[in-house]
Structure 1
């Protein structure tokens, strides 16, 4: 299973860019502990050394492992501490975001995946053009994209033209998908939520990791207390 994930400072200040770089280290360390492979797809450096505005990762692992891992990370991340750039700044809570991006479908292009159909060319051009199946329609089976070529009196030449035009169409589709992903990425920059973080870190060592928002421990403690109270009353 593969997932695209972005860690972003959104429109946050330089401190948030610094937090992104530090969170990335913690994120990848935990991913390694969970045997999750990763690849850096895109990174945007911050305004100072050792800072990042955003980074996009491709994660690879078994579905149950990757799903559980991302569930504990996706959302707003808070770092509590004094600014390392503005010592007199009063703010102490800095938020960044971790988002899962819609996967970019890889478009492959192979002539083995093309269906060719021949037909008679249309329009004027002499007996050979109108009576012989020289025109070619090429269809890319995985995407359904189709092109038509009848420029030449040679079926072989029209086939070459059809393949070239089909390749151009596939590239256009690939670019549109990239543009959509980048638009999603930009939207995520605007969606970093302040408050209600899934994880909170403190200090410069970033070792205070995870805050359990399920309140499972509290519920179990209350159940145990109610059970003990019931036994005492009995």
Structure 2
């Protein structure tokens, strides 16, 4: 399983729109490759439908190849749909790629003895659409107390796998934050360099690759 993190970083609302368009494009590409794709997390922006960031899980034979295609900076060239006449037309977003297990602290796989899984009744709308099985899963990392809940799949086994991957990613983020402002500054400098070296370029409102 591969995790992809799409982020507008500190960019304006146009970059958040680019995240939305990139997400749609990436989901379509994953579907054409017969990959399983799950939206694990999303951070909405000020405009409905746009995102500061999203976290995806890709699973399937060509998941790594698709992830590598998107890794790095993505450039969207288009006049601002929110600020008519604005001179800027280049909007950048970043795409980070993580192996699910390798994203845990210090690059080490999560140990089974450090995890606790609980099965829960999945939520949903009323009536016949309610998932009446205990397929939702909460995973807790015992040493830190960090926990996640997943109920996107019908299968408890699939939700357990996704919960483990999401927990590993969150622990990795926590470890990176703990390393302090110096590392954040290095990343900002790296991001600025990457802006001039886009892995993918899309153009126009239709987000066509060019």
TM-score, length-scaled by structure 2: 0.61
Partner of 2:76: 79
SS in 2 for 1:10: coil
Structure 1 residue 66: Cα displacement: 1.6
Q: For 1:80 and 1:70, how far apart are their aligned partners in 2?
A: 22
Partner of 2:152: none
Q: For 1:70 and 1:182, how far apart are their aligned partners in 2?
A: 19
Structure 1 residue 185: Cα displacement: 8.1
Q: For 1:88 and 1:180, how far apart are their aligned partners in 2?
A: 43
Cα RMSD for the two superposed structures: 3.2
SS in 2 for 1:35: coil
SS in 2 for 1:90: coil
List aligned pairs for 1:140-155, cutoff 5 A: 142-143=112-113
Distance 1:172 1:201, change over 3 A: same
List aligned pairs for 1:171-182, cutoff 5 A: 171-173=142-144, 175=146, 177=168, 179-182=170-173
Residue from 78, 81, 98 that aligns with 1:101:
98
- The answer to whether the 8 A contact 2:4-2:95 is kept is yes
SS in 1 for 2:195: coil
SS in 1 for 2:26: helix
Partner of 1:214: none
TM-score, length-scaled by structure 1: 0.56
Q: For 1:60 and 1:81, how far apart are their aligned partners in 2?
A: 32
Distance 1:179 1:71, change over 3 A: closer
Give the count of matched residue pairs.
150
List aligned pairs for 1:90-169, cutoff 5 A: 90-103=87-100, 142-143=112-113
Q: For 2:60 and 2:29, how far apart are their aligned partners in 1?
A: 13
Structure 1 residue 142: Cα displacement: 3.8
Partner of 2:15: 16
Structure 1 residue 183: Cα displacement: 3.6
- The answer to whether the 8 A contact 1:8-1:54 is kept is yes
Partner of 2:160: none
Structure 1 residue 182: Cα displacement: 3.1
Higher Rg of the two aligned structures: 1
